């Protein structure tokens, strides 16, 4: 049995981590049985969530896990894609994971109002004396990482403009199709549910969230995946 390790569900989302939603959505779409076990990045083989354990192996990174699952259980979602369809999905996934994900992360950590909401959840169980300084300390470290990555060097207006462009591009590529590449879901839809779905339905307000919610086709696409694959959480 696959054990999926990820932080606990929160904010009405399958998980506050987009990459965890991606992997759990993939497992559900591909109908691979799994069990959930709560885990934090500090316990993970690569220091990031999600990860899985299977047959005494621990495997980190959502994309590498999906590759592993395809080898072990077959490839019912992406197996029939043409090379061009796969390439389009891959390019879109990179836009979501290497660009829009950081905009989303920025919206939680950089914005004071959002950070207050996020920190209340993240540091919930912490003793009160520590809660007085640890959240701001952790926040400082994350903001430094944003500088190293690059997103932290922009003004918030610039960051959200980058995110809105990614969303506009996704909307144009989705068109009026039920799923990104056609009538059936692929692993790239699982990724979109993680990154775009968490932006849309999370409690963190931003111009990017407004842009997603304003699009009937994109909102409908996310809502459809929630209804089809996560109806038990509704
Ligand atoms: N490439 C990784 C990215 C995973 C990732 O960035 N996870 C974040 C949560 S969304 C994390 O664990 N961050 C903790 C940290 O960087 O210390 C994947 O696809 O799984």
Q: Are residues 125 and 29 in the same domain?
A: no
Q: How far is the CA of 176 from the centre of ligand 1 (A)?
A: 31
Report pLDDT for 195.
98
Q: Are residues 145 and 186 in the same domain?
A: yes
Q: Are residues 104 and 195 in the same domain?
A: yes
State the total domains in the chain: 2
Residue 65 counted as domain residue = yes
pLDDT in tens, 211-232: 999 999 999 999 999 999 999 9
Print the domain residue range for 65: 2-73
Report pLDDT for 224.
97
Mutate to test the pocket of ligand 1, among 7, 40, 49 (most ligand atoms within 8 A of CB): 49
| CB 234, CB 54: distance < 8 Å | no
Q: Which of 46, 73, 100 is the last residue of a domain?
A: 73
Q: Check the CA dihedral 221-224-230-232 and report its sign.
A: positive
Mutate to test the pocket of ligand 1, among 8, 11, 19 (most ligand atoms within 8 A of CB): 19
Q: Which of 51, 73, 95 is the last residue of a domain?
A: 73
The residue nearest atom 11 of ligand 1, judged by CA position, is 48
Residue 234 has pLDDT above 90, yes or no: no
pLDDT in tens, 115-164: 999 999 999 989 999 999 999 999 999 999 999 999 999 999 999 999 99
| Alpha helices by DSSP H, 126-231 | 128-131, 134-149, 156-174, 187-192, 198-201, 207-214, 216-229
Q: Which atom of ligand 1 is nearest to the CA of 63?
A: 19
Residue 78 counted as domain residue = no
Q: Which helix or strand (DSSP H or E) is residue 20 part of?
A: helix 18-29
Residue 122 counted as domain residue = yes
**Mean pLDDT computed over 66-93:** 98
The residue nearest atom 16 of ligand 1, judged by CA position, is 48
Q: Are residues 161 and 69 in the same domain?
A: no
Closest CA to 103 of 3, 176, 209: 209
Q: Are residues 101 and 213 in the same domain?
A: yes
The DSSP code for 182 is B
The DSSP code for 31 is T
Kindly report the CATH number assigned to the domain that includes residue 200.
Answer: 1.20.1050.10
| CB 197, CB 225: distance < 8 Å | yes
Report pLDDT for 213.
98
Kindly report the CATH number assigned to the domain that includes residue 66.
Answer: 3.40.30.10
Q: Which of 73, 103, 132 is the last residue of a domain?
A: 73
Report field, pTM of the whole predicted structure over 0.85: yes
Q: Are residues 90 and 33 in the same domain?
A: no
Residue 227 counted as domain residue = yes
């Amino acid at each position: 049995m696959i054990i999926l390790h990820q932080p606990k569900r929160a904010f009405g989302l399958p998980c506050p981590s987009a990459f965890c939603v991606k992997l759990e959505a993939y497992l559900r779409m591909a109908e691979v049985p799994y069990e959930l076990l709560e885990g934090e990045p500090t316990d993970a083989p690569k220091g990031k969530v999600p990860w899985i354990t299977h047959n005494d192996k621990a495997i980190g990174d959502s994309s590498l896990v999906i590759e592993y699952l395809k080898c072990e259980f077959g490839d019912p979602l992406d197996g029939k894609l043409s090379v061009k369809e796969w390439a389009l999905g891959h390019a879109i996934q990179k836009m979501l994971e290497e660009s829009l994900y950081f905009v989303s992360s920025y919206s939680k950590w950089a914005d004071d109002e959002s950070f207050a909401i996020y920190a209340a959840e993240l540091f919930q169980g912490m003793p009160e004396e520590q809660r007085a300084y640890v959240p701001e300390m952790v926040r400082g470290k994350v903001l430094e990482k944003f500088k190293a990555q690059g997103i932290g060097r922009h003004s918030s207006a610039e960051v959200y403009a980058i995110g809105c462009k990614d969303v506009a591009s996704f909307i144009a590529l989705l068109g009026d199709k039920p799923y990104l590449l056609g009538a059936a879901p692929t692993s790239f839809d699982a990724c979109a549910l993680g990154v775009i779905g968490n932006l849309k339905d999370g409690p963190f307000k931003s111009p990017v969230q407004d842009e997603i919610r304003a699009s009937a086709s994109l909102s409908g696409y996310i809502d459809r995946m929630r209804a089809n694959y996560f109806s038990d959480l509704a």
